Structure formats: C-alpha cells, structure tokens
C-alpha cells in the first residue's frame, strides 16, 4: 500500500515563490547547535540541503491545520516543493508522529533504498504515478513523496532528481520533529529570502533491463489478455506456434500463433519485425477498407486486420463460418447473437493496438513484450509447442 504522506493543505499553506538564494543549505552545518523543536521551514531547509534541483515554489504546512470536513488536524510538518516543467511535478517532504505498531517495510509493499524504504504506484486515469521514500524512526514517519512523470519501477524510470537524494533526506538526523537550532535558523532564512530554482536534469538510478523478445507463448498470453479485457475469458480452446499462410504469400521475420476458439473459429496472430507499408496493402482475393488506423479485409470465411507501427506490423486473421467482412457496413451491423461477427470485431481490434503500456497494462502485441507476459505464456496449459 502506498503511503499518502500529506493531504495538501492549500488553504493553510504559505507559498514562497522563488527569489533570492537559500543560505544555510550549502555552507552551514544544519546539524550544529542544540536540539530544537522542528518547524516546517526547518525541515524543508534540511531537505533542500540534499536535493538537486532546487524548486520554484515551496508551500509550508501548518501544524494542526484542518485537512477535512470532519475536523481532522494535520499532524505533519514539512512542505510541498513545486517545479514547473511540463507536466508539473511535486515533492512532498514531511515528518509526522506515528504509533509504535506502524507497519514496517516487511509489512508493506516496498523495497529497500539504502537505509530507507521505497514504495510506488503506477498512474491511472484518476491519479498520476507516485512514489514515497520513507523511514520510521523514533516514533516518527519521515517521508518524501513524489507525483509526476514516471513509468513502472522508479529505480529504472527517468526522474527529475537522483532517487538516492530522497533517501538521504529521510535518513538525515536533522529531518525530525526534534531537529537542531542551526536547522531552525536556516528555515527562518529560507522563509524570508526564498530559494532560487535550478535546472532539472532527468536521470535514472539504474538502467532498465532490455525488454524480452516476444515468443509464441508470450504472444499467446498477450492475445489472451486482450480477449479477457474484451470479455472473452474462455474463448481460447488450444493454441500452437504457427505463421499463417496468407493469401499474399508468406511473411518473414515474424512470430505467429494459431489459436482454436469456440464457435468453430480459428484465430491467427502474426507480429512482423518490419514496418514496411507493403505489409498493410490489400492481399489477393480479399476486399479491403481502412478504418481507425488499420486496414480491414475479408472474404467469405476469412477476415483480417493489418496495422503498421514504429518498427513492426501486426496481422490478425480469423477463419470460420460466419466470418466475412467484405463491407464496412456488414462489419459494423453485428448483433449480440452473431457470435462470429462480434468475435471478429473484437479480435480485429487487436491489430490497432501498438503493443505498449496502457492504462490497463500492456495492450496489443509487438516484437518486444514484458517479463509478466513471458511468465504468463509459460503457464498456459492449453498452448502446445
């Protein structure tokens, strides 16, 4: 479960627009002096002492500010750091008290990042991708949360900061509800003088591993995933590796599968490692028409869809009684009782998907796949090599 460190308290936030220089984060020792009760400004100053780049704006949280209509008070100190690339992204640095039984990394979905914990969630239509780096020490949750551009595992994603710097922030002894007089003084100067924003330089903690190449089993798993999203959980009866013998002749540099379906239908899916436009031309004996980024084709008993993408082409073929698709009107006027025609519409849609990560996961087929689809393909009991 991803911790949501702060409910952004806009009404109670004091915004400091970038102006002047942050003193105390470069030359001053923020660990000097005596122990002192932390302020939001002090904790932000500690965070900025580790962070590259510096933000455009800072919103400081106000301890005890209401965060909902039920009168709940914000127990945290810290601030929301804003940058202004496109799209906008934020870092939420904060410390708050937590109970003794607050879950540790072993009890949450997270991975170690140095001496800190890292957890994340991928984006959706309702929320952007997000990550949290945190530690639980001395009855406190010390965390930095990020929202913005990110793809998959943040350790291999291109981020606008060094991920290790977030671990440095939350493990800094001065990043605590009991900080130092030096940090408090630095926070006061920060609140007065502001901070000068610095250039964002995207970087990765690790290079992502190369994507695995599609195999017949991984291809079959991708087709099954597509059919499941279309509502066909049990449509496939069996499958095998095969490159369909097309009316226009054999294709080269391709991976293909032949899948026996219910209703007396057979589905052939071929991924061709080429974006040659000749691969989406109409083939002999077929009637063809373009629609929605693909070329649809058919004759009695055989329907097809072809689509070009960057670096590859997809051919989808469906054979069986009731398949035709010689005109666009016939193709679109299907009714729920016409099994072959409705299945044909949904399997042909596979050709129009580019084999990239989408809102519902990996969508379509391509020469490269995902480790998850490779693993899923190996578990297919109905696929026979």
Q: Quickly count helices (H) and strands (E) in the chain.
A: 7, 19
Band of pLDDT at residue 70, cut at 50, 70 and 90 = confident
Cβ distance 72 to 66 under 8 Å?
yes
Maximum alpha-carbon separation in the chain: 87
Percentage of residues of the chain with pLDDT beyond 90: 56
pLDDT(341) > 70: yes
How many Å apart are CA 90 and CA 56, to the nearest integer? 10
* Mean pLDDT of all residues in 169-191: 96
pLDDT(163) > 60: yes
- Domain limits, the chain: 14-193, 216-378
Task: Name the packing angle between helices 181-193 and 40-50 (round to 10°).
Answer: 90
Cβ distance 267 to 316 under 8 Å?
yes
How high is the pLDDT of residue 232? 94
pLDDT(361) > 60: no
Pick the CATH number of 216-378 from 3.40.50, 3.30.160, 3.40.1000, 3.10.350: 3.40.1000
How high is the pLDDT of residue 109? 66
Weakest mean pLDDT among 171-175, 206-210, 268-272, 337-341? 206-210
How high is the pLDDT of residue 209? 78
Q: Which residues pair with 362 in a beta bridge?
A: 357
What value, to the nearest 5°, has the Cα angle with vertex 40 and ends 36 and 45?
85
How high is the pLDDT of residue 286? 93
pLDDT(21) > 50: no
CA atoms within 13 A on the CB side of 281: 8
Weakest mean pLDDT among 60-69, 95-104, 183-192, 352-361? 352-361
* Mean pLDDT of all residues in 309-329: 88
How many Å apart are CA 273 and CA 206, to the nearest integer? 28
How high is the pLDDT of residue 100? 83
Whole-number average pLDDT of the chain? 85
Judged by phi (left if over 0) then psi (alpha if -120 to 50, else beta), residue 354 lies in alpha
Band of pLDDT at residue 26, cut at 50, 70 and 90 = very low
Q: Is 279 helix (H, G, I), strand (E, B) or coil?
A: helix
Band of pLDDT at residue 207, cut at 50, 70 and 90 = confident
Q: Provide the CA 317 distance to its chain's centre, in angstroms.
A: 31
pLDDT(84) > 90: no
Between 104 and 254, the higher pLDDT residue: 254
How many Å apart are CA 208 and CA 279, to the nearest integer? 32
- DSSP codes, 144-193: EEEES---S-TTTS-BSS-HHHHHHHHH-TTSSSEEEHHHHHHHHHHHHH
pLDDT(376) > 80: yes
pLDDT(40) > 80: yes
How high is the pLDDT of residue 60? 94
How many Å apart are CA 52 and CA 168, to the nearest integer? 12
Weakest mean pLDDT among 101-115, 188-202, 203-217, 234-248? 101-115
How high is the pLDDT of residue 106? 59
How many Å apart are CA 196 and CA 142, to the nearest integer? 25
pLDDT(384) > 90: yes
pLDDT(6) > 50: no
CA nearest neighbour of 342 among 240, 241, 245, 262: 262
Percentage of residues of the chain with pLDDT beyond 70: 86
pLDDT(69) > 80: no
pLDDT(359) > 60: no
pLDDT in tens, 229-269: 999 999 999 999 999 999 999 999 999 999 999 999 999 99
Which residues neighbour 62 within 8 Å (Cβ) at sequence distance 6 or greater?
9, 12, 13, 14, 40, 74
Which residues neighbour 153 within 8 Å (Cβ) at sequence distance 6 or greater?
120, 208
Weakest mean pLDDT among 168-177, 313-322, 359-368? 359-368
How high is the pLDDT of residue 27? 54
What value, to the nearest 5°, has the Cα angle with vertex 292 and ends 286 and 293?
80
């Amino acid at each position: 479960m991803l911790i949501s460190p702060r409910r952004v308290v806009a009404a109670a936030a004091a915004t400091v627009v970038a102006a002047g220089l942050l003193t105390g984060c470069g030359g001053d020792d923020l660990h000097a002096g005596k122990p002192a009760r932390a302020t939001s400004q002090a904790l932000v100053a500690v965070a900025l002492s580790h962070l590259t780049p510096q933000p455009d704006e800072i919103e400081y949280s106000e301890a005890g500010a209401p965060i909902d209509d039920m009168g709940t008070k914000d127990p945290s100190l810290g601030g929301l750091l804003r940058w202004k690339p496109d799209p906008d992204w934020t870092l939420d640095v904060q410390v708050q008290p937590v109970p003794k039984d607050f879950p540790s990394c072993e009890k949450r979905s997270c991975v170690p990042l140095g001496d800190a914990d890292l957890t994340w969630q991928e984006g959706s239509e309702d929320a952007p991708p997000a990550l949290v780096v945190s530690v639980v020490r001395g009855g406190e949750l010390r965390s930095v949360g990020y929202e913005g551009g990110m793809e998959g595992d943040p350790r291999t994603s291109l981020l606008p900061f060094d991920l290790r710097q977030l671990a440095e922030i939350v493990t800094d002894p001065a990043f605590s509800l009991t900080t130092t007089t030096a940090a408090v003084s630095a926070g006061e100067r920060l609140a007065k003088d502001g901070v000068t924003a610095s250039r964002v330089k995207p970087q990765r903690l690790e290079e992502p591993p190369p994507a695995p190449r599609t195999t017949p089993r991984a291809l079959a798993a991708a087709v099954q995933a597509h059919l499941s999203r279309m509502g066909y959980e049990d449509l496939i009866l069996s499958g095998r590796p095969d490159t369909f013998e097309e009316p226009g002749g054999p294709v080269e540099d391709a991976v293909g599968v032949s899948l026996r379906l219910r209703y007396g239908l057979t589905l052939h899916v071929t991924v061709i490692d080429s974006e040659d436009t000749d691969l989406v031309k109409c083939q002999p004996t077929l009637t063809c028409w373009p629609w929605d980024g693909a070329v649809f084709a058919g004759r009695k008993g055989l329907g097809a869809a072809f689509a070009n993408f960057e670096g590859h082409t997809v051919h989808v073929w469906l054979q069986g009684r009731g398949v035709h698709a010689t005109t666009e009107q016939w193709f679109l006027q299907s009714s729920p009782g016409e099994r072959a025609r409705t299945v044909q519409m949904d399997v042909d849609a596979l050709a129009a998907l580019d084999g990239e990560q989408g809102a519902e996961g990996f969508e379509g087929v391509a020469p490269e796949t995902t480790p998850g689809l490779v693993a899923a393909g190996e578990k297919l009991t109905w696929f026979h090599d």
